[in-house]
Amino acid sequence: MPDLSSDASEIRAATFRLARRLRQQRAVTTMSDGQFAVLVALKLHGPHTLTALAEREGVTAPSMNRTVNCLEEEGYLTREPDADDRRKVNIAITPTGLEVVEETVHRRDEWLARVLADLPDGDRETLRAAAKIILKVIER
């Protein structure tokens, strides 16, 4: 019988190291992973209130406020009054923030493509199959 604990440990360690190497490929080296995640969320899901953004990212509102303040100071996002409810403020990504997200994704894809180019075809096929399995597992 296979040792599932050992398998889990190996898979976790490998995916963690891969994720860390991918995170190192960024357009703005001074931007934290949390700040980048906020820009990605705004790009993918559109404007959010501070509370909604904090909930989406799993942090407190004061912590999100600090993150948003830093990103706003750098010109990566804006705060605008809600058209329907002037008590609300929507946070939206700017064209500069969008450029950072797109350039970072490009750099990460390019880095991974260079790594994959050095592998034999069979190993790349195995990784493609593993990626499909991983996505299936996490989307349950």
The residue extents of the domains of the chain are: 4-138
Torsion angle in degrees (nearest 10) through CA of 47, 50, 56, 58: 160
What's the token pair of residue 69?
């303040």
What CATH number matches the domain at 4-138, 1.10.730.10, 1.20.1260.10, 1.10.10.10, 3.30.310.80? 1.10.10.10
Residue 1 pLDDT level (bands cut at 50, 70, 90): low
pLDDT of residue 80: 92
Distance in angstroms (rounded) separating the CA atoms of residues 117 and 104: 20
Region of 55 (left: φ > 0; alpha: ψ -120 to 50; beta: rest) is alpha
What's the token pair of residue 41?
């969320």
Residue 83 pLDDT level (bands cut at 50, 70, 90): confident
Helices and strands counted in the chain (H then E): 6, 2
Q: Is the entire prediction scored with pTM above 0.95? A: no
